Chain A
């Protein structure tokens, strides 16, 4: 196919992406230099970098930033290690039973995030089954506090996001040649050593891939936090996306909110650029 035909086929899609992804991103940068509330949507006022300075001095922004980073630091390793463990165990089970387990594991992955969060929350509501077990075991009522809501966000992320690494690792283990395992068994390697010296090196590139995607997903987490905190600031469990959302829609400081989202974009580029370079190299080699 020559270049001209290629661009003819590409043009509708390319136009949509230019008009509704590239252009809005530039608009966002422009809006971040404006003072704008719901009252002066049509007549924004240029304020230079004032919005950025305000964001950097905003205590709540740093609070949200710290919580987001803590969330990533705990949730991503937990998802990956649980996912890997379950994938390795699943690999040992006969293939007839696997299907049932996989169907169960994929349920949280397929359901709409907001619905999944509501369902997890149901367990902890008064009269919920986990709230009951909590009272039976610990003797006190389960109440929504800063600590418990934050733990709930983590538990939900483990529930909802682990199926992704699990399935990717499981698919990766299927490509592991049987001879490698057999040879190592003849050499007298234990199961744990096989995991350490054969499986983990075999899955190395998948670990990087899953890690990058999981970090970016954890960074953008919004739906579950929105539902679990009910937008109530007393839980101090706001992540960056939620704080940006509230700044734009409740506090009505659109310029400032755009400044925050530009800051978020710049921070996510740190993870994104290596990922994109890797994809670029792969694709040019495959070509």
Chain B
């Protein structure tokens, strides 16, 4: 057998792996604990592990005033999003195409998110959250639509031009973002698009396009050519064959790529920091909590960090199998 069986050696191996695993997760664990403390508890000389938790940091971060019946509001919100998630999971049981169900869920979800400030007085942190939603969603939509066309073309075309485009795009992607972002800033200032969502979306689409086309191409290459060829024999042209035959079986690949685009757009810091004045996304907003003189900044920073991490962890948790598929198919080929 390949594996080690010596008990002492195995113990050492487990010990080392566990130490490294602890090293990886302790910051998450500690920040979450700190975010539920009062500034006084968080600054205590000996770290406190047993204390009376408080949600003040989160309410201070998200809300201007706490509503009269906070539990009811929270319950209503959880109920709405729970219901949407449930409908999403049951989408295939509806008598009409699944796409419409997802569109409906998105529309209701957006409507609810945007109507919240009408009922509850929220802090600017909530506006940054909404900005993040718009920018991330816009980037995914545009990036995937044009990326699918390009990825399909690259997967099916065997000429040298395809390889040249792929390699050049990879080269451009590997350059430091600063080389593009300073000119973007200048375009933004001159065209008046500075500090708008549109500028953020188109620049994020462009910067992530090389990655998107590489990844989508690798998924399209796994789809046998015969599938669209048989549709084309039946008289469909290539574009119709692509839209009606290929795209429906590409959904796993599209979701995988969309997930990576989401992670990239959500976490981008430098670009958003330079191209916005006040329309920040969450990533930029929380960097403001890194520094501060007053003793409250530690717990507030902890709450901000946890708040920004939670949406990503939820998304990764829901789509973990697609994420692994993406990692193993696209990235680990070299």
Contact = CB atoms under 8 A, between A and B. Distances in A.
B149 A10 contact: yes
B254 interface: no
A159 B312 contact: no
Given A28-B180, A122-B298, A168 B332 contact: yes
B176 A219 contact: yes
Contacts of A168: 331-332
B274 to A, nearest CB: 7
Contact of A112 (B1, B182, B184, B308): B308
A216 B206 contact: no
A157 B241 CA distance: 47
A17 interface: yes
Given A122-B301, A126-B43, A167-B332, A223 B172 contact: no
Contacts of A261: 176, 178-179, 182
A142 to B, nearest CB: 13
A171 B209 contact: no
Interface stretch (A19-27, A46-54, A73-81): A19-27
Interface in A210-268: 216, 219-220, 222-223, 226-228, 230, 232, 241, 244-245, 248-249, 254, 257-258, 261-262, 264-265, 268
B170 A24 contact: no
Contact of B146 (A16, A107, A276, A283): A16
Interface stretch (B27-35, B51-59, B70-78, B93-101): B27-35
Given A24-B179, A205-B334, A226-B287, A125 B269 contact: no
A93 B9 CA distance: 11
A25 B180 contact: yes
Interface residues of B, number: 102
A115 B309 contact: yes
B243 to A, nearest CB: 12
A115 B10 CA distance: 35
Main secondary structure of the interface of A (DSSP, over half): helix
B205 interface: yes
- The number of chain A residues touching the other chain, given as a range, is 35 or more
Contact of A129 (B47, B327, B328): B47
A181 B205 CA distance: 46
A228 to B, nearest CB: 8
A287 B189 contact: no
Contacts of A25: 172, 175, 179-180, 183
Contacts of B266: 112
Contacts of B43: 126-127
B147 A13 contact: yes
Interface in B40-74: 42-47
A230 B25 contact: no
A275 B45 CA distance: 50
Interface in A5-50: 5-10, 12-14, 16-17, 19-25, 27-28, 31, 41-42
B209 A287 contact: no
A241 B182 CA distance: 12
Given A10-B150, A122-B27, A132-B45, 13 more contacts: A1-B238, A3-B159, A6-B157, A13-B150, A86-B20, A89-B13, A92-B4, A119-B28, A122-B305, A123-B27, A182-B2, A241-B270, A262-B179
Interface of B: 1-4, 10, 13-14, 16-17, 20-21, 23-28, 30-31, 34, 42-47, 145-147, 149-150, 152-154, 156-163, 165-167, 169-172, 174-180, 182-187, 189-190, 202-203, 205-207, 209-210, 213, 238, 242, 263, 266-267, 269-270, 274, 283-284, 286-287, 289-291, 298, 301-302, 304-305, 308-309, 312-313, 316, 327-328, 331-332, 334
